[in-house]
Structure 1
Amino acid sequence: MDLDELADALYSAPPGEFVATRDDAVRAARERGDKEFATAAGKLRRPTRAAWLANLLARHRREQLDGLLALATNLADAQRTLDGAALRALSSQRRKLVAGMAREAGRLAREAHEPVTEPLLRELGDILEAALADPVVAEEVRSGRLTRTITYSGFGPDSDPEAAAQRAAEKAAAPPPAETDEPDGGDPSEAARREREREERRRDLADAEAMEATARERRDEAEAGHERAAQEHEQARERVATLTAELDAAQRHERTAAADSREAAAAARAAAREAGTAATRTARARARVEDE
C-alpha cells in the first residue's frame, strides 16, 4: 500500500477508525525500515466528523457536489454586478442544494452505521457554504481528504450572497449624493479619521479571525481527544465483557469441579468401607482355616 492508497482508506473510513489504522500503518512501516513512509503517514490528520461527511460526498456523490460548487461562478458574477434578482434566485437555489447535500451525507453516514445529529449537519452546511465562497476550500472538499471544519465570514466578492443582494437593493433605492461646495480632496483631517477607522476595523477583523482559528483548532483537538477517549472506553467495555464472560465460565467450571470432587470423595469413602469390610471377612476366614 502506497501513501495515496493509505490516505484513501483512512479518509473514507469512519473517523473512529482513523487513528488506530494510521498508527498500525506507521508501526508496520517502521518495522520494515521504511522511515519515509512512516513519517509521511504519521502526518495524516484525523478529520473532524463534519469534514468526514464532506469526504463522503466527494467520494460517493461527486456529480451532485460538482453541481453545487458550480454555483460559485454564477454567485461571484452576480455579486460583482450587484444583480439583486440573480442573487436572490441563486441564493435560494444554493440553500436548497446545500440542505439536500447535507441530508444525503447524513444518509450515507447512517448506512455506514455512524450517528449524525442536526448540529453536525449544520457544520457540514458551513463547509459547503465556505467551498462556494473560496476556491481553495472547494478544492479541499473535492479532494475527499478534508480534515477541518470550515466556515466563511469574509467580506467582498465572496461574501454572503444575501448581504450582497441587500446591498444591491439599497444601492438601487438610494438617492444620488447631494452636491456640496467641498473641494474634491475633502477635509484632510476627516479623510485621515476615516482611514484610521478603516484600519481599526481591519485590525479588529484580523484579531477576530485569529481568535476564531485558535478556537476552532482547540475544538478540533478536543474532538480528537474525545474520539480517542470514546474509542478507549469502547475497548475497555469490550475487555470487561470478555473478562466477565471468562469469569462466568470459570465459575461454572469451578462449581462443576467441586461437585465432581464431592462425588469422588463420597465414592472413595464408600470404596474404603467396602475394602474394610472385605478385609475383615478375609481375616475371619483365615482364622477359621488356621483353627482346623
Structure 2
Amino acid sequence: METLSPRKGRGDGQEQDVEAVLDDLYTTPPPDFVARRETAAAVARTAGRAEDARRIHAARRPTLAAWAANLLLRSRTEESRAFLDLGLALREAYQTLDADGLKDLSAQRRHVVAALSRQAAELARDAGHPLSAPVQEDLETTLRAVLADPDAADQWADGRLVNALTPPSEFRPATAPAANRPRPGSRPAHPPAKRAVTDELAERRRAHEEQLARAKEAAEAAEQRLHEEHARRADADAELQRARERTEQARRRMSLAEEELRQARREHQQAESDQHGAEEHSRSAADSLARAERDARARAQDVRRKEAGPV
C-alpha cells in the first residue's frame, strides 16, 4: 500500500530514532551519505543499540537521481500524495478500460511528471547539487515508474530509494474477443446475472470517476502550488538582486568616502608639517628681532654717551 513517510515506529523511542535516522540519511546528498551514516552508526553502537547500528551501517548510498526523488517526497508532501493518487487513478483507468479517463490521465501524467521533475531539480540545486541532463532523465523515468507500477509507487512512498526506477512496458488494456463483441445496432440481452455484473461495473465506473475527479483536482492543486513556488522564487530572486545593487552602491560610496578620508589625512599631515615649519620660522624671527632690539639699544646708548662728551 502506498503511504508517505514519515513512518510510524513500534512505539518505543529507539525504533523511532533509527527510522528517523534512516529517513534523514536518504535525503542527505550522496557525497555526504557515507560520513553521516558511519557517524550515526557509531552513535547507535555507543548507546548500546547494536541492531540499530547494524541497520544504519547497512544503508546503501542512493544515486543522485534516487536522492532527488527521495528529497522531493519529503519536501513536497502534498504534491507527492497527489502524484500517488494520480498513479492509482491511472492504473484503475487501464484496468477498467475507461478510454476517456485514460486519455485525460495520460495528459495529466506527462504534465505532472514534468512539473514534479522541475521541482525536484530546484530542490537539488538549492541543496548544492544541481542535476545533469542524464540524472534529470533518470528522475523523470523514476516518476513515470511510480505512476505505472504499484511496486515502484510503494518503493518511492517509502522514501528510501537507492537507484532510479524503471517503468514497465506501456500499458496495454485488453480487448474483448471478436466473438463476444455486440454486433452494430444490436441490443444485448441483460439476464439477472448479467444485470448484476452491469450494476457492479456501473458502480465501479462511478467510483472510478470520483477517484479520477479527485486525482485531477490534486494534480491541478499541485500545478497551482508549482506556479506559486515559481512566483515566490522570482520574488526572492528580485529581492536578492535589489539587495545586491544596494550593497554595490554602498560599497562604491564607502570606497569614495575612504578615498576622501585618505586625502583629508594627507592634507592634515601636510598642514601640520606647514604649521611646524611656520612655528619654527616664527621662533627664529622672534629671536632675530630680540637680538636686533638689543643691538639697537646698545648703539643708542653709545651715541648718547659720545654726545655728552667727557665728564
1:114 equivalent among 129, 138, 143: 129
Give the letter for the 2:161 counterpart.
L
Counterpart for residue 126 of structure 1: 141
Counterpart for residue 37 of structure 1: 52
Q: Structure 1: any 5+ residue segments left out of the alignment?
A: 155-159, 177-292
**Aligned: 1:79 with 2:94:** yes
SS of residue in 1 equivalent to 2:162:
coil
Q: Structure 2: any 5+ residue segments left out of the alignment?
A: 1-13, 184-311
Give the letter for the 2:97 counterpart.
L
Q: CA deviation at 1:135?
A: 2.2
Counterpart for residue 53 of structure 1: 68
Give the letter for the 2:150 counterpart.
P
Counterpart for residue 96 of structure 1: 111
- TM-score, normalising length: structure 2: 0.48
Counterpart for residue 42 of structure 2: 27
Quick one: distance in 2 between partners of 1:56 and 1:149?
13
Counterpart for residue 248 of structure 1: none
Give the CA RMSD over aligned residues.
2.8
Q: Quick check: 2:148–2:168 contact (8 Å CA) kept in 1?
A: no
Task: Assess, with a 3 A threshold, how the Cα gap between structure 1 residues 84 and 50 changes in structure 2: closer, same or farther.
Answer: same
1:172-223 alpha-carbon deviations (Å, 9 max, x no partner): xx998xxxxxxxxxxxxxxxxxxxxxxxxxxxxxxxxxxxxxxxxxxxxxxx
1:3-47 alpha-carbon deviations (Å, 9 max, x no partner): 122112211211111111111222344455542222121111211
Counterpart for residue 278 of structure 1: none
Give the letter for the 1:47 counterpart.
P
Quick one: distance in 1 between partners of 2:41 and 2:127?
25
Q: CA deviation at 1:82?
A: 2.6
Quick one: distance in 1 between partners of 2:85 and 2:20?
28
Quick one: distance in 2 between partners of 1:146 and 1:80?
27
Give the letter for the 1:63 counterpart.
E
2:151 equivalent among 108, 126, 136: 136
Of all paired residues, the percent bearing the same amino acid is 40
Q: CA deviation at 1:76?
A: 2.2
Quick one: distance in 2 between partners of 1:140 and 1:153?
15
For 1:1-292, list aligned pairs within 5 A.
2-31=17-46, 33-154=48-169, 160-161=170-171, 163-164=172-173
Larger radius of gyration: 2
Quick one: distance in 1 between partners of 2:90 and 2:58?
36
Q: Which runs of at least 4 in structure 1 moved beyond 4 Å after TM superposition?
A: none
Give the letter for the 2:86 counterpart.
L
